[in-house]
Amino acid sequence: MTEPAPVTSPGNIPPVTNESANSTSQSGFRTMWEVWTNRVFTMREDRFFLFLAVLIGILSGLAVVCFRIAIEWTQIELLGSSLSPTFPRVILAPTLAGFAVAALVIHAFPRARGSGVNQTKSAVYVSNGYIPFNTVVGKFITCALAIGSGQSLGPEDPSLQMGAGIASLIGRRLRLSQEKVRLIAPVGAAAGLAAAFNAPISAVLFVLEEVIGTWSAGVLGAIVLAAISSVVTMRAFLGPESMFRVPLFRVAKPADLLAYVALGVVGGLASLVFLKWLAYARPRMQSLPRWTQHFQPAAAGLLIGIIGIRLPQVMGAGYPIIDQAMHGQFTWKLLLVLAALKILATGISFLSGTPGGMFAPSLFIGAMLGGAVGAIEQHFFPALPGTVGTFALVGMGTFFAGFLRVPITSVFMVIEVSGNYTAILPVMISSLIAYGISRSYVKVPLFDLLARQDGLVLPSVEEQREQMILTVEDAMRVDAALVLERTDNIAEALKRLEGKEGLLPFLRVRPGEWNFIEHSELHRLAADTSQSHTVEETNSKGPLPFVFRDMSLEEALHWAGDWPALPVLSRADLSKLEGLVTLDDILKAFRKVPVR
C-alpha cells in the first residue's frame, strides 16, 4: 500500500513533471487533489483569476436560474397563472407581500434594499469589494417575493448584485489580495447581469460603463469569461431563446431613419420626467419617520394592486407584456397609458424601498412609448418601414439610454435581447437623442444620484468619460529648442542663441538619443579661447527620455521633474525634434483645464 504523500505547501512542491504526475496518478484521490491544487495555486495569478471568473460565472448563472424560477413560481402562487389576476389576488398579493418584504428588509437583510447597482458600485469603491453573503440571500428572497407579488420592479439589477456578492464571497474565502477582491465583485456583477438578461455583451459593457468605468485589459478578460460562463449556464437550464421575438425589417432609405428621431425625443423627455420624479421624491420618502418603513412596501403594493385591477399589465417585470406590445397587440392610446402608469408604479415601488431592479421597468416603459410613437407615426405615414414591434424594440433602447445613461450598453442590449441586428441604426440614433436630452437636464446619472442621496460620493463614470484628456501637444512649445549636432562649433552655437534667451539647446547624439546642454556649459567652453571647441565636448545631460505629441500629459509628468526639458520627437523619425516640454509647461496646461 502506498503511503499518502505528505501535505506540503505549494511553494515547496517541485514543479509537476510527467514523471511525478505518473507517480502520483497511482496514489489515490488525495494525491491527485494535491497535484491539481498545486497546479491551480502555482499558476500565474492572472490565470488563476480567469479560472475563478469561470467558476463565478457558473455559480452566478445557477443563482440567476434559481432566482428566475423563484420569481415565476411566486408569481404563479400569489397572482395565479393568468395574465389578468382575479380581484382579491391583485390587491392582496402585493400588499401582504409588501409587509413581508418590509419585515425581512428591516430585520434580516437591511442591505438588500435598493436596486443593487449602486450598492455594488459602492462595494467596489467604498468597501473594497466586500458584499456580505447575507445580502445575496436577502436579495434573492425579498426580490422574488416583491417581483413575484406584482411590484413593478425587475430581476436584473438584483441578479447583478447577487453575482457580485457570490464573487466577493469567493474572493474573500480564497484570501485574494485586496485589489483582486475589489475587482472580483464586478466580475460577478457582469455574470449575474449577463445571465439575467441572456445578454453577455450588454452585461460586460454595462459593468465596464457603469460599475468599473475602465477598460483595463486584466479585468476585461475575467469579466467576459464570467459573463459567457453564466450565460451558457443559464441557457443550459432555461433555453437559448432571445428575450423577445421581433419580425425582421429593413430600413429602405436613409430618410426613414428620421422616424426614429421623434422616438428619441419622446424617450428622452419621458426618461427626464422619471429621473426628475425619483430625484425629487426619494429624499422626501427617506425623510419619513422610520416606523413608516414597515408599511411603505405594503402601501406601494396596494397602490399597484389598485392600478392592476384595470391594467394588470403594469404589475411585475412585465416581459410578456413587452412581447405583446412588440406584436402590436395594443392601441397607441393604451400603450401611452401603460407607459405613464408604469412610470408611476415603478416609482412607487422603488421609492417605497422595496428591493428590485429598474432595468425591466425601464425596458417596459421604453417599449410602450416606442410602440405608441410607432403606431402614431404609421397612422400618419403608412409607408414607413418597420412595424410597431420595431418601434417598441427601439424604444426600449432609447428609454434605457436616457434613463440609465448607458448609451453603448443600450444599443447592444437591444440587439442581444431581440437577436435582431437590423434595429442597430434606429436604436443608435434615438438612443443618442434620448441620452443627450436626459444629460442636458439632469446632470448626474441615476445610480450616481441615488448614491449621492445616500451620502456616498462615488466616481461618476459619465464624468470620467467626458473629462478632457490632456496630451503633450497641449503643453509643448514648438519654437523653443535649438538643435545642435556633436560637431557644431561652440562659438557658432552661442551665436545662434544670441538674443534668444528662452531657447533651450538640445544635442542630437543619434536618432532617439538626445541630450540637454546648459547655457552655462556653452559659455564655459567658449571662454577658453586657446582652441576651438565643439559641442561634443560639453558636459551635456542625457540621454533624455523623449515623448511624442500624442502621449498623455500625465505620462510626460513622470519624467518632466527630473530633467530641465523633454524633447518631443516625431514618431516617424526619432532624429526630428518637434518641440519641447518642461514641468512648468505641463503644470500650466493642467491649470488651464476647468476643475469639476
Q: Which is nearer to another protein, 65 or 484 (CB)?
A: 65
Indicate which single residue of 128, 329, 453, 489 sits in contact with another protein (rule: CB under 8 A). 329
Q: Longest C-alpha distance within the chain, in Å?
A: 111
* Contact call for residue 21 and another protein (CB under 8 A): no
Cβ atoms within 10 Å of 568's Cβ, excluding its own? 24
Phi, psi of 521 (to 5 degrees): -70, -40
* Contact call for residue 532 and another protein (CB under 8 A): no
Q: What does the block give as the cell for 504? A: 533651450
Q: Which is nearer to another protein, 52 or 102 (CB)?
A: 52
Q: Which is nearer to another protein, 143 or 504 (CB)?
A: 143
* Contact call for residue 252 and another protein (CB under 8 A): no
Identify whether the C-beta of residue 99 lies closer than 8 Å to the C-beta of residue 132.
Answer: no
Binders in 198-237 for another protein, by CB under 8 A? 237
Q: How far is the CB of 48 from another protein (least distance, A)?
A: 6
Binders in 134-173 for another protein, by CB under 8 A? 170, 173
Indicate which single residue of 90, 211, 326, 586 sits in contact with another protein (rule: CB under 8 A). 326
Indicate which single residue of 25, 28, 30, 43 sits in contact with another protein (rule: CB under 8 A). 43
* Contact call for residue 175 and another protein (CB under 8 A): yes
Q: Which is nearer to another protein, 327 or 524 (CB)?
A: 327
* Contact call for residue 58 and another protein (CB under 8 A): yes
* Contact call for residue 45 and another protein (CB under 8 A): yes
Q: Which is nearer to another protein, 40 or 593 (CB)?
A: 40
Q: How far is the CB of 147 from another protein (least distance, A)?
A: 15
Cis before 4? omega within 30: no
Q: How far is the CB of 15 from another protein (least distance, A)?
A: 11
Based on its alpha-carbon atoms, the radius of gyration of the chain, rounded to whole angstroms, reads: 31
| Neighbouring residues of 371: CB distance < 8 A, sequence distance ≥ 6 | 325, 326, 328, 330, 332, 335, 388, 389, 391, 392, 395
Quickly list DSSP for 219-271.
HHHHHHHHHHHHHHHHHHHH-S--S---------SGGGGGHHHHHHHHHHHHH
Total of chain residues touching another protein, rule CB under 8 A: 54
Q: Which is nearer to another protein, 53 or 481 (CB)?
A: 53
Alpha carbon of residue 108 to chain centroid: 30
Q: Which is nearer to another protein, 49 or 350 (CB)?
A: 49
Q: How far is the CB of 243 from another protein (least distance, A)?
A: 9
* Contact call for residue 42 and another protein (CB under 8 A): yes
Measured CA to CA, the distance from residue 360 to residue 323 in angstroms comes to 12
Characterize 416-449 residue by residue with b for buried, 16 or more Cβ atoms within 10 angstroms of its Cβ, and e for exposed.
bbbebebbbbbbbbbbbbbbbbbbeebebbbbbb
Q: Which is nearer to another protein, 195 or 263 (CB)?
A: 195
Identify whether the C-beta of residue 518 lies closer than 8 Å to the C-beta of residue 494.
Answer: no
Q: Which is nearer to another protein, 63 or 101 (CB)?
A: 63
Binding flags for another protein, 61-100, as an x/- string (CB under 8 A): -xx-xx--x--xx--x----xxxx----------------
* Contact call for residue 55 and another protein (CB under 8 A): yes
Residue showing cell 400588499: 95
Q: Which is nearer to another protein, 300 or 415 (CB)?
A: 415
Q: How far is the CB of 65 from another protein (least distance, A)?
A: 5
| Listed ranges 43-51, 466-474, 555-563, 579-587: which one lies at the site for another protein (CB under 8 A) | 43-51
Indicate which single residue of 4, 10, 110, 511 sits in contact with another protein (rule: CB under 8 A). 10
330 to each of 344, 345, 372, 386, 388, how far by Cα in Å? Answer: 19, 19, 9, 16, 10
* Contact call for residue 108 and another protein (CB under 8 A): no
Q: Which is nearer to another protein, 296 or 390 (CB)?
A: 390
* Contact call for residue 196 and another protein (CB under 8 A): no
Comparing CA positions, the residue from 344, 338, 323 lying closest to residue 369 is: 338
Torsional sign, CA 517, 521, 522, 525:
negative
Q: Which is nearer to another protein, 33 or 87 (CB)?
A: 33
Characterize 257-281 residue by residue with b for buried, 16 or more Cβ atoms within 10 angstroms of its Cβ, and e for exposed.
eebbebbbbbbbbbbbebbeebbee
Q: What is the DSSP letter of 2?
A: P
| Listed ranges 114-122, 384-392, 438-446, 464-472: which one lies at the site for another protein (CB under 8 A) | 384-392
Indicate which single residue of 174, 232, 257, 408 sits in contact with another protein (rule: CB under 8 A). 174
Instruction: Specify burial of residue 318 (Cβ count, 10 A radius: 0-12, 13-18, 19+).
Output: buried
Helix 156-173 and helix 133-148, axial crossing angle in degrees, nearest 10: 160
Q: Which is nearer to another protein, 66 or 285 (CB)?
A: 66
Measured CA to CA, the distance from residue 10 to residue 41 in angstroms comes to 7
Indicate which single residue of 324, 362, 398, 410 sits in contact with another protein (rule: CB under 8 A). 324
Q: How far is the CB of 424 from another protein (least distance, A)?
A: 17
* Contact call for residue 16 and another protein (CB under 8 A): no
* Contact call for residue 323 and another protein (CB under 8 A): yes
Binders in 232-251 for another protein, by CB under 8 A? 237-239, 241, 245-248
Cβ atoms within 10 Å of 81's Cβ, excluding its own? 9
Q: Which is nearer to another protein, 320 or 511 (CB)?
A: 320
Q: What does the block give as the cell for 186? A: 464586478
Identify whether the C-beta of residue 121 lies closer than 8 Å to the C-beta of residue 447.
Answer: yes
* Contact call for residue 334 and another protein (CB under 8 A): no
Helix 490-497 and helix 519-527, axial crossing angle in degrees, nearest 10: 130
Return residues touching another protein (CB under 8 A). 7-11, 33, 37, 40-46, 48, 55, 58-59, 62-63, 65-66, 69, 72-73, 76, 81-84, 170, 173-177, 237-239, 241, 245-248, 320, 323-324, 326-329, 387-389
